[in-house]
Amino acid sequence: MATEFHNLQELRHSASLATKVFIQRDYSDSTICKFQTKFPAELDSRIERSLFEVTMKTLNCYYAEAEKIGGQSYLEGCLACATAYIIFLCMETRYEKILKKISMYIQEQNEKVYAPRGLLLTDPIERGMRVIEISIFEDSGSTSSSSSGSSPTSSTAQ
Partner 1 sequence: MHLGVEEPIRECQYNQICTHNSSPMDTPHTKKRKSKRKWQVFPGRNRFYCNGRIMMAKQTGVFYLTMVLILVTSGLFFAFDCPFLASNLTPAIPAIGGVLFVFVMGMLLRASFSDPGVLPRATPEEAADIERQIDATNGPSGPGYRPPPRTREVLINGQTVKLKYCFTCKIFRPPRASHCSLCDNCVERFDHHCPWVGNCVGRRNYRFFYLFILSLSFLTLFIFAFVITHICVFLDGCTVLEVVVCFFSVWSIVGLSGFHTYLISSNQTTNEDIKGSWSSKRGKGNYNPYSYGNFITNCCAALCGPLPPSLIDRRGFVQPDTPQPAAQTNGTGACPPNQVQSHMCAQDQCIQSTKFVLQAATNPLLHSQPIILGGGPTLQAKSSLGGPCSTLTPSQPSLPSSIPGLTCGGELLALRDSEIHCHHHLHHQHFISPEETPSPPAALPCATHLGHHVHPAQLFNPVSQDSLHEDSVRGLVKLSSV
Region 87-126 residues binding partner 1, contact defined as CB under 8 A: 88, 93-96, 99, 103, 107, 110-111, 115-118, 120, 122-123, 125-126
Among 38, 48, 61, 101, binds partner 1 (CB under 8 A): 48
Written as one string, the DSSP assignment of 62-110 is HHHHHT--SHHHHHHHHHHHHTTTGGGGTS--HHHHHHHHHHHHHHHHI
Asked whether the CA dihedral 102, 108, 111, 112 is positive or negative, the reply is negative
64 binds partner 1 (CB under 8 A): no
| Minimal distance, residue 110 CB to partner 1, in Å | 4
| Per-residue x/- track, 119-158, partner 1 (CB under 8 A) | -x-xx-xxxxxxx-x---x-xxxxxx-xxxx-xx------
| Minimal distance, residue 142 CB to partner 1, in Å | 5
